[in-house]
């Protein structure tokens, strides 16, 4: 059962699509506070109104796209948001996942899919915050170190380096080798502030000290930075 008139903002650069979403939401009893097509206007509204949900297209007008806006929302408002997109390529999905969206709608979608996704997002946002805290605090892995199993907190990992069919997890004091592919490790670490910066390297953005030329200084080491990941890295760092 919905709370009375949850307030929703639509961030969509295609006006016809936005109006259809607005009509469907109104029919379900939601209050659509506005429709905007860029991040600046969305942030302005978020600063003035306590919203219950934001529906945001990944492709919007302006320098910031929908994923950039999502990072800003997480840092300043903690308002749940649902992504709307027609682009499901791996690069976009990897950027999308780390923002922890409350839902995802892939165009074209059916009205019932919109209704269900919005209902679930609002229901999850009303759960006690202690539940979410417990989940995010459990960030430890057990990794094998010779004959021992060692508890390793993922925030202590500086970077991950791929070596054939295994990877090295590098911390400030030790290196751990595990027999997994970099892709598998990346899927597990993306929610914790990690990003691929080279085809063989996954980096914990919290530990970056400086970037010079095509190298990233992390602790006592230098990690290579591929040109294809440079702009995405700069965008991510501007959100920290």
Choose which CATH entry (3.40.50.11310, 3.40.50.620, 3.65.10.10, 3.40.50.2300) describes domain 7-133: 3.40.50.2300
Residue 15 has pLDDT above 60, yes or no: yes
Identify whether the C-beta of residue 80 lies closer than 8 Å to the C-beta of residue 53: yes
What is the domain partition of the chain in residue ranges? Answer: 7-133, 139-237
pTM over cut 0.75: no
pLDDT tens for each residue of 168-226: 999 988 999 888 888 888 888 888 889 999 999 999 998 898 888 789 999 889 999 99
Biggest CA pair distance of the chain: 62
**Distance from C-alpha of 240 to C-alpha of 235, rounded to nearest angstrom:** 9
* DSSP result, 213-234: TTEEEETTEEEE--HHHHHHHH
pLDDT tens for each residue of 34-77: 999 999 999 999 999 999 999 999 999 998 889 889 988 887 88
CATH superfamily for 139-237 is: LytTr DNA-binding domain (2.40.50.1020)
Identify whether the C-beta of residue 113 lies closer than 8 Å to the C-beta of residue 99: no
Burial classification of residue 133, based on how many CB atoms lie within 10 Å of its CB (0-12 exposed, 13-18 middle, 19 or more buried):
exposed
- Contact partners, residue 35, CB within 8 Å, separation at least 6: 10, 12, 15, 18, 19, 22
> What pLDDT was estimated at residue 165?
81
Task: Give the torsion sign (CA, 93, 85, 56, 7).
Answer: negative
What are residue 9's phi and psi, to 5 degrees? -110, 135
What are residue 85's phi and psi, to 5 degrees? -155, 155
**Distance from C-alpha of 187 to C-alpha of 165, rounded to nearest angstrom:** 16
Mean pLDDT value across residues 24-39 = 94
């Amino acid at each position: 059962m919905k709370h009375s008139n949850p307030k929703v903002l639509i961030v969509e650069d295609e006006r016809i699509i936005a109006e259809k979403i607005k009509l469907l939401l109104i029919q379900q009893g939601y209050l659509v506070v506005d429709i905007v097509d860029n991040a600046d206007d969305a942030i302005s509204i978020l600063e003035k109104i306590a919203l219950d949900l934001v529906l945001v297209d990944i492709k919007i007008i302006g320098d910031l796209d929908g994923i950039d806006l999502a990072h800003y929302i997480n840092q300043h408002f903690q308002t749940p948001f649902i992504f709307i997109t027609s682009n499901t390529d791996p690069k976009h999905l990897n950027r999308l996942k780390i923002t922890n969206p409350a839902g995802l709608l892939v165009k074209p979608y059916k009205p019932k899919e919109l209704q269900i996704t919005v209902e679930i997002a609002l229901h999850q946002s009303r759960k006690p915050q202690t539940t979410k805290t417990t989940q995010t605090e459990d960030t430890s892995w057990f990794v094998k170190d010779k004959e021992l199993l060692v508890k390793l907190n993922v925030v202590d990992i500086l970077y991950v380096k791929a070596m054939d069919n295994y990877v090295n997890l590098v911390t400030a004091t030790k290196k751990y080798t595990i027999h997994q592919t970099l892709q598998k490790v990346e899927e597990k670490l993306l929610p914790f502030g990690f990003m691929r910066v080279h085809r063989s390297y996954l980096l914990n953005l919290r530990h970056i000290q400086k970037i010079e030329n095509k190298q990233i200084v992390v602790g006592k080491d230098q990690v290579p930075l591929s040109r294809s990941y440079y702009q995405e890295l700069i965008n991510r760092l501007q959100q920290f």
